[in-house]
Amino acid sequence: MGKIGVWLIGARGSVATTAVAGAAAMRAGLAARTGCVTELPDFAGAELPGLGDLVFGGHDVVDTPLVKRAEQLAAAGVLPATLPGPVTAELEAAEARLRPAPAGGGRTAADQIVADLREFGEGLDHVVVVNVSSTEPPCAPHPAQESLAALEAHLDVLPASSLYAYAAFRAGCAFVDFTPSTGARLPALDELARTAGLPYAGRDGKTGETLLRSVLAPMFAQRGLNVLSWSGTNLLGGGDGATLADPGAASSKNASKQQVLEQNLGHAVDGEVHIDYVPALGDWKTAWDHVLFEGFLGARMTLQLTWQGCDSALAAPLVLDLARLTGKACRDGVAGPVAEFGFFFKDPAGDGPHDLASQYAALREWANR
């Protein structure tokens, strides 16, 4: 089988750089496959595209070279200090396939993206576009988002993430949204994906607080314990921390965090979610959750969690997993949202279970069928 192109929107960001460098390190035998779901024994028979089948390219608005970005990440402790050196060639190869993100929006930008994707796709079996750029504010609704026909005359109503999804489908590529942005989640784009026979998945990678919520909330439900409140505070440095400290950008993320609780508990739950920008944390994030619950005869009890993780290290292997799985979906001719990829997302596209255990089972079954 042939190559799978992985086109990263935000290709010079920490997550993308870590994914590209990490894939190279694993291929070279310099790093274990820790954190890669598709490397688990459960997926050994799934005939997924191999790490060696992935070819990286992408768009970004900044132009710091990938090699430089990798050195910065190594200095910050995100990548091993010894890593960037041995994978310089692979980073430079990806660098040569990066293109500047088109300025502006609408039809002109879309055409440019389509052209870039088509050029990239030459000689590749399939291309998966993965959005790992900064989180957008929620997009304003517009009637033209409701159908493909209407949309074609109003591409300017699309936020950037959705313009990329549009262009991806027009260029015959699959689309994965790892951010909480709108991406492909508009009726007109869903119509386009189905019409074009292309899969998409998203949104908002589940790498910390929400991951924990998707295993702990089912536990409370299955034990008949009544969750009275679930509060969370997230401290983030790095680019996404700065973006999400803006209440507008944070609102869609927070909504999906509380939604996971509601879906798993069967009722809305009191409690707020805060995202604070703490620059000194760099690429590290800390989440504290406080759960107040009621047990037998009304006894009040609590659970507290503190999760301290490296954002890029948590996200990057999932980007590789999604690239490989979506590559398989392309090969299999899947069209529309792949609900079975809900395991990876806070706010999954398509209808699927909300607890992590069922999501894992659905993913495993999908991959091995």
Q: Which is nearer to its own copies, 252 or 264 (CB)?
A: 264
Q: Which is nearer to its own copies, 103 or 304 (CB)?
A: 304
The single-letter code of the amino acid at 352 is G
CB of 314 to its own copies, least distance (A): 6
Half-sphere exposure of residue 308: CA atoms within 13 angstroms, side-chain side: 2
Distance between CA 159 and CA 343 in Å, rounded?
Answer: 26
CB of 352 to its own copies, least distance (A): 15
Q: Are 186 and 162 in contact (CB under 8 A)?
A: yes
CB of 337 to its own copies, least distance (A): 21
CB of 292 to its own copies, least distance (A): 6
Say whether 302 sits in a helix, a strand or coil: strand
Q: Tell me what percent of the chain is helix, strand and coil, each rounded to the nearest 5.
A: 50, 20, 30
Say whether 273 sits in a helix, a strand or coil: strand
Q: Which is nearer to its own copies, 281 or 339 (CB)?
A: 281
CB of 87 to its own copies, least distance (A): 11
Place of tokens 């050195």: 71
- What the block records as the tokens of 37 is 């779901």
Q: Which is nearer to its own copies, 37 or 155 (CB)?
A: 37
Q: Which is nearer to its own copies, 41 or 123 (CB)?
A: 41
Distance between CA 206 and CA 305 in Å, rounded?
Answer: 16
Q: Which is nearer to its own copies, 57 or 353 (CB)?
A: 353
CB of 300 to its own copies, least distance (A): 8
Which distant-in-sequence residues (6+ apart) come within 8 Å of 295 by Cβ?
Answer: 225, 226, 301
Q: Is the peptide bond before 203 cis (omega within 30 degrees of 0)?
A: yes
